[in-house]
Amino acid sequence: MPKSLDTIMASLGAHVAEERVKGPVRSFQDLQERVQHRAQMYEDVQYIEEQVQMLQRMLHSMPSLPPEPEVLWANAVLALPNLTLLEIDTTGLSEDAEIVRVTLLDRTGTIIDDILIKPKDPLTPRLSEINGIRNEDLEHAPSIREAWSRIEQCLQGRYIVSFAQNFDRDKLSEAAHRDQLPRINFIGEDLQMHLGHFLGNSYIKLADACARVGHPLPERPHQTGVDRAKGQLHVLQAMANAVTSCTTSLPKPGVENSEDLSFDLNDHPF
C-alpha cells in the first residue's frame, strides 16, 4: 500500500534532521549509506512535487468563482428605483439599419413601453424570424419620426441597462442623424460587458446566458424583444445572486452556437 503524503512528509522531515546531526563523513561505508539514504530522500521529494503538481492541475480545473465586484454591481443596479432594461430591434447591423422595436422594462419585469416602428421597407422573412416581428404587426405602427418623442420620453430620467449597449446607442444616433431628429442621450451600462467579467467569457450571447441561468429564451421565430428584455433581467438577477450556471454542461468560451440565427451569423450579441 502506498504511503500517504502525511507519512512521507513526516519521514522526510525526520531523515533531514538525522542527516544534519551526522556531521562529516567518517568512512567509505558511511558515504555509501548516506548516498543511498539521500537518494531515497530525493525520491520522496520528487513524489511530493508530482502530487503538488497534480493538485495544482485539479485546482486550475475547478469552476471559476464569479468576481465579487460584479455581484455587488448587479445588486446595486437592481436596487435603483429607475432601473430600466432596454431592448432595440433593428433591420440589421449596418449603419442604414432601421429601428423597428423599442422595448423597456422596469426592475420588476413590468413593461414600461413596447414601441413598434414601421420601417421604410417591409421586413424580409429572415428578419421576421430573427426579431419575431411580422409585417402585419407593423401595418399601423408609427414611423421613427412619429415615435421619436415617445422613445425619448421613455428613456428620460432612467438608468438604462442593456445587452451590447453601444449597439443601442449607435442605432439611436444613426436614426437621429438619418431623419434629422434630436439626439437622444441616456445614462446606463452595458450588461454584456459586466456579464463577460462575471463569467470570464466576453463572447457569450444573451440567449446562451439565459439558458445558463435557467431561463432560456423562446425559440425563434417566437422570440421577441420583450422576451429578450426579460432575459436581461433574469441574467442580472442571477449575477446578483452569484449564480454562474444552472447547468452542468457549458459552452466553451468563444464557441458560437451553430444554430444561432443572428444576422448572417455575424457578431450580433443576441
pLDDT for 204-259, tens place per residue?
999 999 999 999 999 999 999 999 999 999 999 999 999 998 864 444 444 444 34
Burial 233-270 (b: 16+ CB within 10 A, else e): bbbbbbbbeebbeeeeebbeeeeeeeeebbbeeeebbb
Query: Are the C-beta atoms of 64 and 197 separated by less than 8 Å?
Result: no
* Res. 269 pLDDT band, cuts 50 70 90: low
- The residues with which 159 forms a beta bridge, in sequence order, are 83, 187
* pLDDT score for 252: 45
Q: Which three cell numbers stand for residue 180?
A: 434629422
- Highest CATH level, class, for 68-265: alpha beta
* pLDDT score for 5: 85
pLDDT at 262 exceeding the cut of 50: no
Most confident listed range (18-22, 23-27, 164-168)? 164-168
- 187-204: per-residue pLDDT in tens? 999 999 999 999 988 889
* pLDDT score for 2: 66
Residue 236's nearest CA partner among 215, 267, 257 is 215
Mean pLDDT of the 50-64 span = 90
pLDDT at 134 exceeding the cut of 90: yes
* Res. 143 pLDDT band, cuts 50 70 90: very high
The ranges assigned to domains in the chain are 5-60, 68-265
Please tell me the least confidently modeled range out of 3-17, 21-35, 162-176, 238-252. Answer: 238-252
pLDDT at 260 exceeding the cut of 50: no
pLDDT at 31 exceeding the cut of 90: yes
* Res. 23 pLDDT band, cuts 50 70 90: confident
